[in-house]
C-alpha cells in the first residue's frame, strides 16, 4: 500500500482527527485501521508514528482531505490565547480539520440535528443504503453518498423510510434547490464567511450551527465557530462573563473575537477535550478579557 511520511514539524493524529465528530462515515477496527467511504472510494488508512499507510485513493487526495499542507503549529499558535485552550492544544495536538465534500457535509449536518454521534451515523448509513450507488471495496459492499439529484426526485415517503423524521422534507427541499444550482459549491468557496453563511441559511434545515459546521468542515472558513451544548457549557462555566452569553450569536461572536481567524480550530480542540474542560461544576475560570455581549 502507498504511504506518506509526515513531516516531524507538522503534527498529525489520525485517531483524533477521525473520532472527534467532524465526519460520520469512518470506522476504526481493532488493528487501528480506519475505513471510510468518501466520494466513490473506500479508503483504508492507518498511522504508525510519522507514517500514514493507505489504499483506495492517491497521495494528493489524502493530503487534501486531511489538510496535511496546512501549517498546524502556526494555526495553533494563533489560537493559543488562554490557559484553557492551551491545555486542549497540549492534549489534542495533531488534530486537523478535514476538508469534506460540500454536499455530503451539508446533508449530513442537516440530518444530524438533535442526535448523538452514533445516531447520526445510523441515519447516514440508512440514507446511503437506500439511495447511494453500491460498489465493492476491500471490505465488501459499500455505498456512495447519494447526490442532490438522487434525493430531489425521490418520494418524501421513501426518504422518510431512512428514519430521518422531520428532517426528511428539509433534506429533499434542499437537495431540489441544489440540484438546480450546480455551481453552488464553487460559489460558496469563493465567498467570504459572512456572505457564505447567509447563502447557506436560506436552505431548508440549515440553521446557524449547521451553517457554521459546513463552512468549517467543507469550505475552509476557519473563522466559523460552531456552538453546541458542550461549547456553550465550556464558555459559560470556564470563561469570565461566559454565563451572560445566552444566544448562539453571542457565543459564536465571542469565539471569533477571542480566537481570531482560526476560531474554528479552537472550537474543535475545545470540543475534542470537552469531557475534561467542561468537568463538573464551574471549575477554575481562565483569565481572559470580558466576552462580547
Can you tell me whether residue 176 is helix, strand or coil? Answer: helix
Distance between CA atoms of 163 and 251, rounded to whole angstroms?
A: 32
Residue 8: CB atoms within 10 Å: 8
Of 60, 121, 208, 209, catalytic: 209
Q: Helix or strand or coil: residue 45?
A: strand
Burial of 32 (0-12, 13-18, 19+ CB in 10 A): exposed
Task: Return the C-alpha cell found at 158.
Answer: 421513501
Question: What are the DSSP E strand ranges found in the chain?
Answer: 3-5, 26-28, 34-38, 41-48, 51-55, 134-137, 140-143
Residues with Cβ within 8 Å of 292's Cβ and at least 6 positions away in sequence, in order, are 250, 253, 254, 257
Is 172 considered catalytic here? no
Distance of CA 136 to the CA centre of its chain: 26
The residues carrying an active-site annotation are 209
Amino acid at each position: 500500500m502507498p504511504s506518506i511520511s509526515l513531516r516531524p514539524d507538522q503534527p498529525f493524529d489520525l485517531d483524533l482527527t477521525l473520532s472527534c465528530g467532524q465526519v460520520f462515515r469512518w470506522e476504526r477496527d481493532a488493528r487501528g485501521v480506519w475505513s471510510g467511504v468518501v466520494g466513490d472510494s473506500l479508503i483504508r488508512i492507518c498511522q504508525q508514528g510519522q507514517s500514514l499507510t493507505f489504499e483506495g485513493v492517491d497521495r494528493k487526495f489524502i493530503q487534501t482531505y486531511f489538510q496535511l499542507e496546512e501549517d498546524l503549529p502556526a494555526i495553533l499558535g494563533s489560537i493559543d490565547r488562554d490557559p484553557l485552550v492551551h491545555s486542549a492544544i497540549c492534549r489534542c495536538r495533531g488534530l486537523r480539520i478535514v476538508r469534506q465534500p460540500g454536499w455530503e457535509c451539508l446533508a449530513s449536518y442537516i440530518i444530524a440535528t438533535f442526535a448523538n454521534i452514533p445516531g447520526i451515523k445510523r441515519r447516514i448509513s440508512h440514507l446511503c443504503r437506500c439511495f447511494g450507488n453500491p460498489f465493492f471495496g476491500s471490505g465488501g459492499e459499500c455505498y456512495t453518498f447519494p447526490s442532490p439529484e438522487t434525493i430531489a426526485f425521490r418520494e418524501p415517503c421513501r426518504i422518510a423510510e431512512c428514519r430521518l423524521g422531520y428532517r426528511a422534507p428539509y433534506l429533499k427541499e434542499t437537495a431540489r434547490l441544489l440540484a438546480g444550482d450546480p455551481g453552488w459549491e464553487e460559489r460558496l468557496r469563493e465567498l467570504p464567511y459572512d456572505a457564505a453563511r447567509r447563502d447557506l441559511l436560506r436552505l431548508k434545515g440549515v440553521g446557524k450551527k449547521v451553517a457554521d459546521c459546513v463552512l468549517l468542515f467543507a469550505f475552509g472558513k476557519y473563522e466559523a465557530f460552531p456552538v453546541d451544548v458542550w461549547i456553550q457549557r465550556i464558555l459559560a462555566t470556564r470563561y469570565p462573563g461566559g454565563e451572560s452569553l445566552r444566544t448562539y450569536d453571542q457565543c459564536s461572536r465571542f469565539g471569533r473575537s477571542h480566537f481570531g481567524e482560526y476560531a474554528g480550530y479552537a472550537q474543535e480542540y475545545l470540543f475534542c477535550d470537552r469531557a475534561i474542560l467542561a468537568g463538573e461544576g464551574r471549575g477554575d475560570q481562565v483569565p481572559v478579557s470580558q466576552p462580547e455581549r
